[in-house]
A and B are shown apart, each in its own frame.
Chain A
Amino acid sequence: MSRKTYRQAINEALAQEMRRDPTVVFMGEDNVGGMGAPGEDDAWGGVLGVTKGLMPEFGRERCLDTPISESAFIGAAVGAAATGLRPVAELMFVDFMGVCLDQIFNQAAKFRYMFGGKAVTPVVIRTMYGAGFRAASQHSQCLYPIFTHIPGLKVVMPSSPYEAKGLMIQAIRDDDPVIFLEHKVLYDDEEEVPDDPYTLPFGEANLTREGNDVTLVTLGRMVKFCNEVADKLEGDGIRCSVIDLRTTSPLDEDTILENAEETGRVVIVDESNPRCNIATDISALIAQNAFDALKAPIKMVTAPHTPPPFAPELEDLYIPDQAKIEAAVREVAAH
């Protein structure tokens, strides 16, 4: 056990799986960098440095710099997965998925089904998402609801370094296409992470706080905010449960419904835009299955339905923060 950042945890997961299994490879833009001259090799390791340091151990054949051709290398990763490899492809920012979405939702997600159950497509598509990085509208979105909508994909959003390592190893070993979304503001977060490889299951939410008054359902970076709010409100006598979904596909419906039935008060915190997002989906799930247990209307805390702004003041306002979450919990608790 040692302290590791979110970035290091993902890097370690990749390294350990590449050591264990020679079919694991990674590819993406600037995933390595340089041409082999001293000092310039392995210069980047991806734009935020997640894959840095892997190429010297595993070689350029398994650590692939790609041309700026998202469709080609995401499609190539899918094709390689269908023919025996376990590729981890980095789509730099989730905002770029538009240029290769066909490969993801028409191809990767449907290979097994359309090939009569024959195809195995163990591909992981890593991508960065989320606001708070001062990266403007085209590099800050939370587009995970789009992936969640598509049958055949698995969608993972680790909330901390410990979660990131265990979920990444699970993603690589999984036999289905996995979209692995890393929140770019979390990369320098640090916590105790086991040195040995371990997996965390998909479709099993993690209860990070337990309380009987209000249920907070959340994911990704918002888990941290919800934990902080839960800890603060405990002092005021409002005890919250916090459910870290870990994966939106598959979704752990049981944990959500059991907890919602217990508290009768639900706040869903989702950094994405509010139409057809995870918050609306879970809200519908609870309304349909646990309506009688509700003591207050379900409350959703999300970004507004606008692009993430570039202006720092506006971006801070855009992101659901602790103050907004706290206000929502107090409102629901007082109902």
Chain B
Amino acid sequence: MTKTTDSQIVARFEIEHTRYLDEQGQPCGELPEVAGNADLLRDAYRTMVLTRRYDGKALNLQRTGQIGTYGSSLGQEAVGIGFASAMTARDVLAPTYREFSAQLWRGVSITELLLYWGGDERGSDYSGPREDFPICVPIATHCCHAVGAAYAMKLRGEERAVVCVLGDGASSKGDFYESLNAAGVWHLPVVFIVINNQWAISVPRKRQSAAQTLAQKAIAGGIPGEQVDGNDFLAVHDRTAAALSKARAGGGAHLIEALTYRMGDHTTADDASRYRDAAEVEAHRADDPIARLRTFLEGRGLWDAQAEEALLKDCDQRIDKALEEYLATPPQPVEVLFDYLYAELPEALAEQRQQLLRESGDG
């Protein structure tokens, strides 16, 4: 056929999907380097289990009125541990509200998480990762902060990177697109992890975006995007490690879409059975990220029933101890309402502070 115009393809893209272990925990092919790191694998598994035990406890605490509204991370444990274990201590995490596994890995304490969900701002003053951003509940606004933190690292010439975590729903927001664009054009050390758990409260993935993958949204910002099986610890860890190494070395930003499934309700203020087919949830129950890694570990002789028993006991002890600490923490003093507001309290507000103290009976 004769061409009538001078048209040609000027750009094209592909999105790669990576997984190393199948749903049954069996290798799909050649395994990445991390598969040989027995200590790391066992630590990852332990923290995944700890996360799930903590998560169950937190749900019960909410139901008994001991913490506020809570969002479970059930079924998403491998994503958080996967990317967190690929980070160095000097990297910075900018999480949303379902990344407990990553936060626990990075040294946020269970007590701090309980304080946060119990409505105590001191829970966000982490004793462990001092430079990590606290949980961001507004959707995707923290993508812009991650860009700024990455710019600061680049300006100082540091070999560090920021990991910014968001959900499938957040990938529809302007802040996300603007951040991708800025991170691309400024060539910043930031890795965006889109945890696609298929549901944004009651809106399913297919009603969120007509894009074939969420990973491809990166392409428009001049950033590589790829997909991983988010229930495969090995895949999440391996691909994040590669993206972070590149980012720290000056190779620019990257996006990873991790496919997983939100097994629980959006939060305790939600009842997913009103809009989600029970058969769909059951189908996903068979694909459990913790079971997948355990099968793999057992197959390599790295884990057994005895180790599991000891682990569960240890997890429960840690959680019980944290719960005791949380319940024993005195409520925030009223003056923090003003004391956390400015570096130095303006004079006009000092009087309001005194008045509040008087009203509380402390003044």
Residues of A within 8 A of B (CB): 25, 61-62, 64, 66-67, 69, 71-85, 87, 102-103, 106-107, 112-118, 120, 151-152, 154, 174-176, 202-203, 249-254
Nearest Cβ on chain B to A87's Cβ, whole angstroms:
7
The verdict on A175 contacting B343 (CB below 8 Å), with A69-B178, A79-B149 known, is: yes
B92 adjacent to chain A (CB < 8 Å):
yes
Nearest Cβ on chain A to B258's Cβ, whole angstroms:
23
Residues of B within 8 A of A (CB): 92, 94, 121-126, 130-131, 133-134, 138, 141-149, 151-156, 174-175, 178-179, 181-182, 185-186, 336, 339-343, 346-349
CB < 8 Å neighbour of B144 from A79, A118, A174, A175: A79
CB < 8 Å neighbour of B147 from A79, A174, A175: A79
Nearest Cβ on chain B to A203's Cβ, whole angstroms:
5
> Is A73 a contact partner of B146 (Cβ separation < 8 A)?
no
Nearest Cβ on chain B to A276's Cβ, whole angstroms:
18
Most buried by B among A76, A112, A174: A76
**Nearest A-chain residue to B92, judged by Cβ:** A83
9 contacting pairs across A/B (C-beta < 8 A): A71-B178, A78-B148, A79-B151, A85-B151, A113-B341, A154-B342, A176-B342, A202-B346, A250-B348
**Nearest A-chain residue to B138, judged by Cβ:** A106
A106 surroundings in chain B (CB, below 8 A):
138, 141
The verdict on A72 contacting B181 (CB below 8 Å), with A116-B121, A176-B342 known, is: yes
> Is B146 a contact partner of A79 (Cβ separation < 8 A)?
yes
Rounded to whole angstroms, the CA-CA distance of A116 and B124 in the bound complex is: 6
> Is A82 a contact partner of B149 (Cβ separation < 8 A)?
yes
> Is B342 a contact partner of A71 (Cβ separation < 8 A)?
no
**Nearest B-chain residue to A203, judged by Cβ:** B346
B145 surroundings in chain A (CB, below 8 A):
75-76, 78-79, 82, 107
**Nearest B-chain residue to A153, judged by Cβ:** B342
Nearest Cβ on chain A to B345's Cβ, whole angstroms:
9
The verdict on A72 contacting B121 (CB below 8 Å), with A79-B145, A116-B340, A254-B347 known, is: no
**Nearest B-chain residue to A109, judged by Cβ:** B341
The verdict on A83 contacting B144 (CB below 8 Å), with A69-B181, A71-B175, A114-B124 known, is: no
Nearest Cβ on chain A to B350's Cβ, whole angstroms:
10
Nearest Cβ on chain A to B176's Cβ, whole angstroms:
9
A79-B149, A102-B138, A107-B138 are known; give 12 further A-B pairs, CB within 8 A. Answer: A61-B154, A66-B182, A75-B175, A76-B145, A106-B138, A113-B121, A113-B340, A117-B336, A118-B124, A152-B341, A202-B346, A253-B348
Rounded to whole angstroms, the CA-CA distance of A184 and B92 in the bound complex is: 39
A82 surroundings in chain B (CB, below 8 A):
133, 145, 148-149
**Nearest A-chain residue to B115, judged by Cβ:** A116
> Is A203 a contact partner of B122 (Cβ separation < 8 A)?
no
